[in-house]
Structure 1
Amino acid sequence: MTDVPDPVARPGGVVVDVLAVRVPSYTRQVLDGSLGYDLPTPLVPGPTCVGRVRGVAEDVFGHQVGDLVLCNSLYSSGDAVGSPDEILIGWTGTGTPRSARMQAVWRHGSFAEQACYPASCLTTLPGGQEWKRTELLPFLASLAIADGGLRKGGLRGGQSVIVNGATGNLGGAGTMAALARGAARVIVTGRRESALSALAQLDPRVRPVVLTGDRARDTAALLAETDDGADLLLDVIGATPTTDPTLACVDALRLRGTAVLVGGVRHDLALPYQRIQRRQLTVTGSFMFDSRTALEVWELVRSGALDLSPVGAHVFGLDRFEAAMESAESLAGLDYAVLMPRW
């Protein structure tokens, strides 16, 4: 940890006091280079955070000093350029010359007392000043990512959903979002039985399925928890040695079902051509979230339709960053490590 100059609100930018930021379980692998992330140096790293607006540039009119905001680290060069580049501010880029120019301007992230973000990356949380448990607010980012996937898959009330990789933080968020959106049944998968059992305590609609690694056997177990297959697969599984868990879940989709890929699988997916064609399945991807989704998730939380009380935030100050990384590596499900620079 070191002192750096306070960020300045450059054109189009907003400076925030960082209140809380989740430390992802893979943070150490990002910083030691083993994940191959594009990290320009020197760098203040750190992903999406929750902050309070401290200052705005003269050309920013949609945010006010004092606003509580969710700061999305995803920044895009825009659809008009044909093949847009995207960076995760303070985290990674696409490695292209344009991405490098974007990172040069919007480089530093949220593992700090203050940060500067493009105004377009901020979502104001109405009524957020009344929220007492700031340490839970970084979970909004996971909820928004998961809910964005559910929206992409066209989830409707009364449908059945498979959340593959539910033992992780994003999987827990996907389970909670699906329940809040009115899913009739949420089948949660993973290898850690204890984490799945904890999710099952959230609601009787949650059905845990412990994966065995045998694709046919896992598909049969999933089908046994559905009525002739699930309507939607939200695949949030992380890096795995094989794609069989994802393919087992695809095999468990009903006629005209949809698979939404949100996770971190790093292998090519050998999709079953004939099954997709004859059962008229849809396979699509979803990445991060937009302000509309973030605001909807916040309103679900604010109204009480989505209860954050089961979430366990393990809080660390900046001076205990190493301990925060260690904690993040060991936590699962609805527990996560969070840095609170002013804690």
Structure 2
Amino acid sequence: MLGVWLEEPGGPWTLREVADRKVLPGGVLVDVLAVRVPSYTRDVLTGELGYDLPTPLVPGPTCIGRVRDVADDVFGVAVGEVVLCNSLYSSGEVLGSPDEILIGWTGTGSDRSARMQQRWRHGSFAERACYPAACVTPLPGAEEWARPELLPFLASLAIADGGLRRGGLRGGQCVVVNGATGNLGGAGVLAALARGAARVVATGRRQEALAALRQLDPRVRVVPLSGDRLLDRDAIHAETDAGADLVLDVIAHTPTTDPTLACIDALRLRGTAVLVGGVRHEIALPYQRIQRQQLTITGSFMFDSTTALQVWQLVRAGALDLSPVRAHTFGLDEFDAAMDAAASLSGLDYAVLLPRP
């Protein structure tokens, strides 16, 4: 089968014939239908981000696949189903901190993580892939879905929706989505609207992407970030109803934590901030304000099958409209062009690899 092959971090990667995938015990073999190419893919492959890639391998993140085969000990997935294959795989430990890997992407660097990566090494930038059954979510009715290139966006929606659920979102609340001009941020806006938010304040730096989000729904307000914490706090607060109930922080790597802190500053009494993004700096949290206003600061990472299925059912029922999402599609032989496009796209535009002609 054809696949993208990375011999070692830093390159070079090539499109070539690679060993065909076989179903592993506890696994599900899929024909890869569509996979989102993250904006930072090239930085992962070059080693710029320092990801723990178990090279040599076929890289690639979460994907949409059609089940080709299942192991004898797998009973909840059937051949022919269209499924969401989550790259997050956990050791499942309940007494301590579990080891986790992102299949075909990265690990934690521990010995156990390395063993998990050896077992589940290869990702989705190929014609076929094998995932643990625990990572596979069937999507009822997706076999007839007319736009398969939009289905990879379910992963971003599930990550965002998982954060909203973690923050206890209730209908009628005011939500701030910080970093709304990226794919995950755009998904957060869509998910918050679908979950009944009375107002969604979208923040970011890209004016064009903010303008597109404003057109989604009258409940959406936008705030261009200035980089000044106090000015941004006041601008965000002015677009809320006396403060936000919930902040979904999905902002990517930034030189300062000020945008995140500005949003936390805009929370109302007993508000909640959920950290989902890629900030790599320590955050100096305002201890006295958190205590006296009884704020909650929590984290959320990736998604589970329950959230993925709920998001799909919202889409399937028409409560969550995917029509504003624009998929820019590429074949495997256009992988480099797909990475270039992914790095330049924002908001609800994203790059999708379609491995099978």
TM-score, normalisation: structure 1 = 0.99
Whole-angstrom CA distance in 1 between matches of 2:82 and 2:241 = 43
3-state SS of 1:2 partner = strand
Whole-angstrom CA distance in 2 between matches of 1:199 and 1:227 = 19
Whole-angstrom CA distance in 1 between matches of 2:54 and 2:63 = 20
Question: Please, which runs of 5 or more residues in structure 1 have no aligned partner?
Answer: none
Is 1:3–2:23 an aligned residue pair?
A: no
What are the equivalent positions in structure 2 for 1:1-343 lying under 5 Å apart? Answer: 1-80=15-94, 82-343=96-357
RMSD: 0.6
Offset, 1:73: 0.2
Whole-angstrom CA distance in 2 between matches of 1:83 and 1:211 = 36
Whole-angstrom CA distance in 1 between matches of 2:94 and 2:292 = 36
3-state SS of 2:94 partner = helix
Identity %: 78
3-state SS of 1:333 partner = coil
- Paired residue type of 1:146: A
Whole-angstrom CA distance in 1 between matches of 2:294 and 2:178 = 21
Offset, 1:79: 2.6
- Paired residue type of 1:153: G
Whole-angstrom CA distance in 2 between matches of 1:85 and 1:51 = 25
Whole-angstrom CA distance in 1 between matches of 2:210 and 2:285 = 27
- Paired residue type of 1:224: A
- Paired residue type of 1:68: V
Write the deviation string for residues 155-191 of structure 1: whole angstroms up to 9, x where unpaired.
0000000000000000000000000000000000001
3-state SS of 1:324 partner = helix
Whole-angstrom CA distance in 2 between matches of 1:45 and 1:81 = 31
3-state SS of 1:80 partner = coil
Whole-angstrom CA distance in 1 between matches of 2:95 and 2:101 = 15
- Paired residue type of 2:346: A
Whole-angstrom CA distance in 2 between matches of 1:79 and 1:289 = 17
Whole-angstrom CA distance in 1 between matches of 2:94 and 2:207 = 46
- Paired residue type of 2:209: A
Question: Please, which runs of 5 or more residues in structure 2 have no aligned partner?
Answer: 1-14
Whole-angstrom CA distance in 1 between matches of 2:348 and 2:325 = 5
- Paired residue type of 1:185: R
Runs of 4+ in structure 1 off by over 4 angstroms are none
